[in-house]
Copies of this chain bind each other. A is one copy, B any other.
């Protein structure tokens, strides 16, 4: 696999870079950003994954999230993948903001026509880490993952499904239970088909609260959630995460932040806390 560098900016003493590569999983060209802190010039650094929300690419959080200051301070490499395959024109792919392009939901689709390309789970969990490990001084024995909204869902579910891979997990305003909100019902139905009853229901492997109920565990979780978030009651439902964690005795630090909304101004405000939280756990 070949990485093509398509952007590079010096930032907080390190380098913010952007790469394009051909993905086997998605069958398309994919772009991602990587921040290399000053410490990466001296040796391997822990690797922190940031998964973005609906409609975003690597660029939104890279330009507006403000993580570089904190990643430079703590010596973390931060990688921000895209949120879906790009450059395709599947039927209905670009019709709505919450399904198809920009809305991959960090799962491997099983339903036509999505199953060939919409393989964001395998891309984020396996293909891209191998590429990053081969290309940058990343210590893949020390990985953390976080994200926003759909990307918070992605961070939580991927951490729960891959025990031992991610040492730390946190989220900004995550979709706590896609099985129980309109965004999630549309995405899971579209990519996976109806929620078939059986030994296990089809959707449960992609729902944070269901994964926890079914026995998946992470050491602890940090979540920030704005109380002024327009999507709070209908889509995000942090109380469901709270209930699941309480029942499973997973230590959850859920901070309800008064008056904050769903924007990057909210993310930037608490970015420093999250990066420090991961850094502390990845330094162990």
Q: Show the binding face of A for B, using Cβ within 8 Å.
A: 9-13, 16, 63-64, 66, 68-69, 226, 228, 257-261, 263-266, 268-269, 272
Closest to A271 in B: B69
Q: Which single member of B13, B64, B260, B266 contacts A63 (CB below 8 Å)?
A: B64
Main secondary structure of the interface of A (DSSP, over half): mixed
The minimal Cβ–Cβ distance linking A101 to chain B, given in whole angstroms, is 22
Answer whether A261 and B9 are a contact pair too, CB < 8 Å, given A64-B63, A66-B268, A68-B268.
yes
Q: Which single member of B69, B258, B265 contacts A11 (CB below 8 Å)?
A: B265
Task: Please give, as numbers and ranges, the residues of chain B lying within 8 Å of A269 by CB-CB distance.
Answer: 10-13, 68-69
The minimal Cβ–Cβ distance linking A259 to chain B, given in whole angstroms, is 4
Q: A263 vs B59: C-alpha distance in the bound complex, in angstroms? A: 14
Closest to A14 in B: B269
Task: Please give, as numbers and ranges, the residues of chain B lying within 8 Å of A259 by CB-CB distance.
Answer: 10
Q: Which single member of B12, B63, B266 contacts A9 (CB below 8 Å)?
A: B266
